[in-house]
Amino acid sequence: MIKGSTAIYGIFGNPVSHSKSPLMHNAAFRYFGLDACYVAFDVLPERLDQATQAIRALNMRGVNITVPHKERIMPLLDYLSPEAEAIGAVNTVKNSQGLLYGYNTDAWGFIQSLSERGIYVKGKRILVLGAGGAARAVVYALAKEGAVLFIYNRTAQKAESLALEYGSMGSIISAVSQKDLEDLVSLGGIDMVINTTSLGLKAEDPLPCDIGSLNPNTIVCDLIYKRTPLLQAASEAGCTTTLDGSGMLLWQGVYAFQIWTGLTPPVELMREALR
Ligand code: ATR
């Protein structure tokens, strides 16, 4: 029931109508009987400044930020968490008495989605496909956990800058060429492959890498929320552990809910709402 006192939360994206975050957060608000609701706002890039001002003006309590605003919102906020600063992207904003705090819960959410499946990345040799915004959160999270990383991207220079930037965090990170990629995969030197590119969103997309010769113990992850051609091909090649992006979506939301409310989120209920 929306009343005069109802607190407003939301998500800013463009497009945003496909977002499942309202389902997940409204389910959690209902669980606690909170007088709050969560709405999706389709914010055009040229309106982001005004939309961010509106968080304060309308006293919205918190918002999630998604594509294409995660980087551009940063200078519009009052404070950034160390993760948000290091990753260069914000996906969660908390309004505390008119001051806007920016967080990045994607990195933690990604690690949590692995650990709930019993996957720990310390010392694992991991191939990250892509070097865009989504890759930054993943590479940051994995580097912090002490994985050994190889980054392949269509535009090689972006993979090289990412490797250089996060290489100082104490992890071993290298950018790899197309040729290195084939060798790495075929020589069985990879424990996990993670697709962070947009390849796989459309059914007709080519695979982001040739996985024909992957060894069956290799874990294959895709940040896309559905069973992509990559995950399908990995299963067909005999890989026993494959993960789509729905776990990361859940856990980044769980952490955002906790930041906003200070409550322990009802994880299974939120998972069910997403499903
Ligand atoms: P996001 O925030 O979702 O990561 P992004 O920052 O635009 O979006 O990054 C998209 C990633 O997908 C990049 O690594 C991009 O490769 P380039 O840096 O070469 O552009 C990758 N990508 C997108 N379309 C691709 C394609 N057709 N083939 C290979 N890689 C692609």
In angstroms, what is the span from residue 158 Cα to ligand 1's centroid? 10
136: confidence class by pLDDT, cuts 50, 70, 90: very high
The protein residue whose alpha carbon is closest to atom 29 in ligand 1 is 154
Q: What is the pLDDT of residue 68?
A: 95
Q: Identify the structural domains of the chain with CATH numbers, from first to last.
A: 7-104+248-274 (3.40.50.10860), 120-240 (3.40.50.720)
pLDDT tens-digit readout, 177-230: 988 888 888 777 899 999 999 999 988 999 998 877 788 899 999 999 999 999
Q: Given a cut of 90, is residue 14 above it in pLDDT?
A: yes
Percentage of the chain modeled with pLDDT above 90: 87
Whole-model pTM? Answer: 0.95
* Ligand 1 atom closest to 223 (CA): 3
Q: Is the CB of 155 under 6 A from ligand 1?
A: yes
* Residues with catalytic roles: 70
Q: Given a cut of 80, is residue 160 above it in pLDDT?
A: yes
Q: Which residue has the higher pLDDT, 63 or 212?
A: 63
Q: Is the CB of 197 under 6 A from ligand 1?
A: yes
Q: Which residue has the higher pLDDT, 185 or 233?
A: 233
Q: Is the CB of 133 under 6 A from ligand 1?
A: yes
* Mean local confidence (pLDDT), 138-150: 96
Buried b (16+ CB within 10 A) or exposed e, 254-273: bbbbebbbeeebbbeebbeb
Q: What is the pLDDT of residue 158?
A: 96
* Mean local confidence (pLDDT), 106-129: 97
What is the chain written as a DSSP string? ---TT-EEEEEEESS-TT--HHHHHHHHHHHHT-SEEEEEEE--GGGHHHHHHHHHHTT--EEEE-TTSTTTTGGGSSEE-HHHHHHT---EEEEETTEEEEE--HHHHHHHHHHTTT---TT-EEEEE--SHHHHHHHHHHHHTT-EEEEE-SSHHHHHHHHHHHHTTSSEEEE--HHHHHHHHHTT--SEEEE-SSTTSSTTPPPSS--TT--TT-EEEESSSS--HHHHHHHHTT-S-EE-THHHHHHHHHHHHHHHH-S---HHHHHHHH-
Contact 178, 165 (CB under 8 A): no
pLDDT tens-digit readout, 74-88: 999 999 999 999 999
Q: What is the pLDDT of residue 171?
A: 84
